[in-house]
Amino acid sequence: MLRAIHSNKNLQLLLGLLIGILFGFLLHKGGVTKYDVIIGQLLLEDFTVVKIMLSAVVTGMIGVYCLRSIGLAQLHIKPGSLGQDLTGGLIFGVGFAILGYCPGTLAGAVGRGALDALFGGIPGTLIGAWLFASAYPKLEKGILARGYFGELTLPTLLKLNSWAVIVIVCAVIIVILFAIEKAGL
C-alpha cells in the first residue's frame, strides 16, 4: 500500500504540494516568514525560530522513530564531512543573516507579499545554488571530502540504542526550551 503510494509519481507531486501548503501555512502562522522575526533570532532577542525548530524536532523525532520501529518509515540520513558541514554551514549562516530568510521561510515570505524575498532572495538563492552546482566538480574531491564520516548518526557515534539517544536529546531540548521561557526570550 505505502509502496504503491510512494511509487505513484503524480500522486507524490500532489502530496509534495499539499504538505508544502500546510508547511507554508504553519510557517506564516508562526511568524517566521517575517524578516523581523528571523533577524531578531539571529540577534538573540526573539527566540521564535529556535522554539519552533526545537519543538518540531522533538515531535518529529519521536514520531518518525516510532513509524520506523513499526516498519512504516525509513530514515534518510544525509552523509556528511567536516569540510561539507562546517564550511557550508558557516557560509549558509552568513547569507542567512544578510538575507534574513532561509530557503523555506523565503518561499513563505513571497506568499505574504514580501517583494525583497520575491525579487531579491529567490533569484539570489537560485544563482547561489547554480554557482555551487557549477563549482561542484572542483570541490567534490577537495574540501567536500575533508573529514568524511558518511551517514553517521548520534546513536552510532555514541554507541547507544536509538531510543536512549532520543530520550536524552528530547530531555536536553526541553530543558533548553524551559530555560529560554524562564529567561523571557
Partner 1 sequence: MEWLRAEQWPVYIVGIGIGVLSWLAFLLSDHPLGCSTAFARTSGMIEKLFKGSKVEEKIYFKKFAPVITWEGMLVLGIVIGAFISAKISGRFQFCWVPARWQAMIGAAPWFRWLTALTGGVIMGFGARWAGGCTSGHGISGTLQLAVSSWLATICFFLGGVITAMLIARIFSV
Number of residues located near partner 1, criterion CB under 8 A = 123
Residue 178 touching partner 1 (CB under 8 A): no
Residue 174 touching partner 1 (CB under 8 A): no
CB count in 10 Å sphere of residue 110: 19
Please select the residue that binds partner 1; options are 42, 167, 172, 179, rule is CB under 8 A. Answer: 42
Residue 179 CB, nearest distance to partner 1 (Å)? 15
What does the per-residue mask of binding to partner 1 show for 79-118, with x meaning CB under 8 A? xxxx-xxxxxxxxxxxxxxxxx-xxxxxxxxxxxxxxxx-
Residue 70 CB, nearest distance to partner 1 (Å)? 11
Residue 40 CB, nearest distance to partner 1 (Å)? 7
Q: Which of residues 142-161 bind partner 1 (CB under 8 A)?
A: 144, 149, 151-155, 157
Residue 183 CB, nearest distance to partner 1 (Å)? 15
Please select the residue that binds partner 1; options are 18, 167, 171, 179, rule is CB under 8 A. Answer: 18
Burial (Cβ within 10 Å: 0-12, 13-18, ≥19) of residue 64: middle
Residue 23 touching partner 1 (CB under 8 A): yes
CB within 8 Å of 164: residues ≥ 6 apart: 155
- Find the farthest-apart pair of alpha carbons in the chain and give their distance in angstroms, rounded: 49
Residue 31 touching partner 1 (CB under 8 A): yes
Please identify, using beta-carbon distances, which residue of 115 and 179 lies nearer to partner 1. Answer: 115
Please select the residue that binds partner 1; options are 71, 131, 164, 185, rule is CB under 8 A. Answer: 131
Residue 69 touching partner 1 (CB under 8 A): no
The 3-state DSSP class for residue 44 equals coil
Residue 175 touching partner 1 (CB under 8 A): no
Amino acid present at 124: G
CB within 8 Å of 40: residues ≥ 6 apart: 46, 48
**Contact by Cβ (8 Å): 121, 99:** yes
**CA-based end-to-end distance of the chain:** 46
Alpha helices by DSSP H, listed for 70-102, are 82, 88-99
